[in-house]
């Protein structure tokens, strides 16, 4: 089955700096890669996703890149703000059974003023 | 819509007792998922339904766990008997099948088995 590894496990950045989280996956057939943000006491919330026919996707301060050959994808947050502090999860699945999301272990991001 | 609604938010029970977690998906969504989150194992998919029918329950850890979806607006996850290692946050999520869909998660139920 799919195995997703996520690094780093914790990330501390100064407000205004960029944050990068990296994930690798094992199943070359995976073709859907969402990123979720989880705030304390809440459920995960989708912030951006990318499919295998796209190499990069951007939404304001958030961008995701995908390298299918190397089987890795990354989340980039620019101009970080205190409200970006949360746990971020990457995930991977097959779109024909996309409900079976395999999540990474998560990255605790702390943005310090 | 109020989103995915789970109840209770917190549950403390004694080992051996039956526990029932409840979920109301977003109206109109045809997929429902149950996840478990622990520090050791992260987020794990337990089971998911499509149009009220269980599609994949391979993530259900043991026969002590069971899930039902009697109608499109309600699902339960039951643990009988409960054990301390079942302590976790249980999330329910729902979605629509489609090209640009997403899974919407509830607030979760924090279960503590003592």
Q: How far apart are CA A6 and CA B69, in angstroms?
A: 33
Q: How far apart are CA B9 and CA B89, in angstroms?
A: 9
Give percent of chain A above pLDDT 70.
96
Cβ of A44 and B43 within 8 Å?
Answer: yes
pLDDT in tens, B17-54: 999 999 999 999 989 999 999 998 899 999 999 999 99
Q: How far apart are CA B32 and CA B4, in angstroms?
A: 10
- pLDDT for the residue numbered A2: 81
A90 touches chain B (CB under 8 A): no
Cβ of A101 and B105 within 8 Å?
Answer: no
pLDDT in tens, A90-111: 999 876 655 678 899 999 999 9
Provide the 10 A C-beta neighbour count for residue A39.
Answer: 12
B25 touches chain A (CB under 8 A): no
| DSSP single-letter state for residue B3 | -
Per-residue pLDDT band for B69 (boundaries 50, 70, 90) equals very high
Number of residues assigned to chain A: 113
Provide the 10 A C-beta neighbour count for residue B83.
Answer: 12
B54 touches chain A (CB under 8 A): no
Cβ of A43 and B45 within 8 Å?
Answer: no
Sorted by sequence, the CB contacts under 8 Å of residue B41 that are 6+ apart come out as: none
Residues of chain A with pLDDT under 70: 95-99
CB–CB of B65/B2 below 8 Å?
Answer: no
- pLDDT for the residue numbered B100: 53
- Shortest CA distance from A34: residue in chain B: B102
């Amino acid at each position: 089955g799919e195995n997703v590894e996520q690094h780093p496990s914790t990330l501390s950045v100064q407000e205004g700096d960029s944050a990068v989280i990296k994930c690798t996956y094992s199943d070359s057939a995976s073709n859907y890669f969402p990123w979720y943000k989880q705030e304390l006491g809440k459920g995960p919330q989708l912030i951006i996703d990318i499919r295998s026919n796209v190499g990069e996707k951007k939404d304001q301060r958030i961008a995701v890149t995908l390298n299918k050959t190397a089987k890795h994808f990354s989340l980039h947050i620019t101009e970080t703000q205190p409200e970006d502090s949360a746990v971020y999860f990457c995930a991977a699945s097959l779109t024909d059974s996309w409900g079976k999301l395999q999540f990474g272990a998560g990255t605790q991001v702390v943005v310090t003023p | 819509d109020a989103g995915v609604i789970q109840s209770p938010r917190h549950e403390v029970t004694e080992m051996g007792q039956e526990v029932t977690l409840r979920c109301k998906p977003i109206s109109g969504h045809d997929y429902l998922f149950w996840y478990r989150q622990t520090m050791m194992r992260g987020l794990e998919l337990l089971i998911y339904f499509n149009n009220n029918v269980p599609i994949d329950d391979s993530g259900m850890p043991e026969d002590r766990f069971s899930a039902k979806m009697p109608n499109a607006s309600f699902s339960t996850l039951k643990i009988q008997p409960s054990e301390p290692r079942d302590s976790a946050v249980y999330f329910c999520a729902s979605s629509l099948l489609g090209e640009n869909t997403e899974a919407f998660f509830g607030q979760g139920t924090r279960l503590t088995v003592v």
